[in-house]
Amino acid sequence: MVLLNEGEIVAGISVLKKSLPLPGRSIFYAPRGPIVPFDDQKLLGLLLEPLKGEAKRNKAVLLRTDPPIEEGHGVEEILKKNGFVRNSKQIQPRTTYYLDLKIDLDDLLKTFEEKTRYNIRLSERKGVQVRQANTLDGVRAYYDLYKETSARDNFLIHPLKYYQNIKNLLIDRGLASVFLAYYKEKPIAGIFIFHFGKKIWYMYGASSAEFRNVMPNHALHWHVIKWAKEAGYEIYDLWGIPSNPKEGHPLWGVYRFKKGFNGRLVKYIGVYDLPFNPILYHAFEKGLAFYKNMRSLIKKGKISDSLAE
């Protein structure tokens, strides 16, 4: 759904509909949306009004949003004035690091933490090779590593078909890439990168427990940085760290690894919900929390949330 002014798009929102186990009920989710100048109350109202009509027709309980707006710009108060409520449960990471790829490559390397620079050079000395692998065989090789990683670190992943669909829908359209790190011609680590406009995102990463001492993950990201700069991308979003990092957090190791690249810390405002039916909304939130806790307990043997703050 978009708003046009003299033929130009001035605001928009892409909404996913998910059915609930209640007769005819659903929820709306606008991933990383809406896109609108939030200080323009008229535009925001014009965008939400037809959406409320769609919500009524689809018996939607709520609209869930997580706009890519950094904290400290007053958008939180604007959303609250328009009926939104903050939700502490995140769907996507709200805190990340941005690497500025416009910086000269040698100067960029100098900004990395000393240990990160050392590990990049170590991987080169050990002979780690990184190759783009945008084929079904590449996706399968990545997935084999991902299954090992999820079993080792105790987190849930999608089935192979999900990543094959990414190849068909994004990789084959030039919007994503797979990179694999090889040691002695054996794939030992891999990453999925999404790219659009002037920006790239690190979305999924996997590695084998074998040969971790040759630092394949550092080799992968350094290769991707060089590849992205050559292709003209300007921002590398490392995609997801704890908002309040501390030892014991499920993503502590991820945080320490990404921090080594010394990017700019970016913290978005997080999830804001627009309830269409307040009674059902609160019931849904309680039910969803219970379901996620039980799923985590059954699958992992513990109640955990990697996006918890």
For domain 95-266, the CATH class is alpha beta
Mean residue pLDDT across the chain: 92
Give Cα 165 to chain centroid, integer Å.
Answer: 17
The residue with greater pLDDT, 283 or 195, is 195
> What's the pLDDT score for residue 298?
46
- Is the pLDDT at 53 greater than 70? The verdict is yes
Q: What's the CATH number for 2-93+270-300? A: 3.40.630.30
pLDDT-based confidence at residue 41 (cuts at 50, 70, 90): confident
Residue 248 tokens read as 């014991």
**Model confidence at 283: pLDDT above 50:** yes
152 neighbors 209 (Cβ within 8 angstroms): yes
Segment of 39-48, 264-273, 289-298 carrying the highest mean pLDDT: 264-273
* Proportion of the chain above pLDDT 70, given as a percent: 94
- Token pair for 98: 């941005």
Mean per-residue pLDDT, 203-231: 97
pLDDT tens track for 95-113: 999 999 999 999 999 999 9
Give me the mean pLDDT over the 43-66 stretch: 94
> What is this structure's pTM?
0.91
Look at residue 288 in the predicted model and tell me its pLDDT. Answer: 61
Let me know the angle formed at the C-alpha of 103 by 97 and 104, rounded to the nearest 5 degrees. Answer: 135
How many C-beta atoms lie closer than 10 Å to residue 295's C-beta?
Answer: 12
17 with 28: CB under 8 angstroms?
yes
Q: Per mean pLDDT, which range of 94-103, 158-167, 179-188, 248-257 is the poorest?
A: 248-257
Instruction: Enumerate the CATH 3.40.630.30 domain ranges in the chain, comma separated.
Output: 2-93+270-300, 95-266
Q: Residue 286: pLDDT band by 50, 70, 90 thresholds? A: confident
Which of 34-43, 176-185, 291-300 is most confident?
Answer: 176-185
Q: What is the mean pLDDT of residues 25-38?
A: 94
| pLDDT score recorded for residue 156 | 86
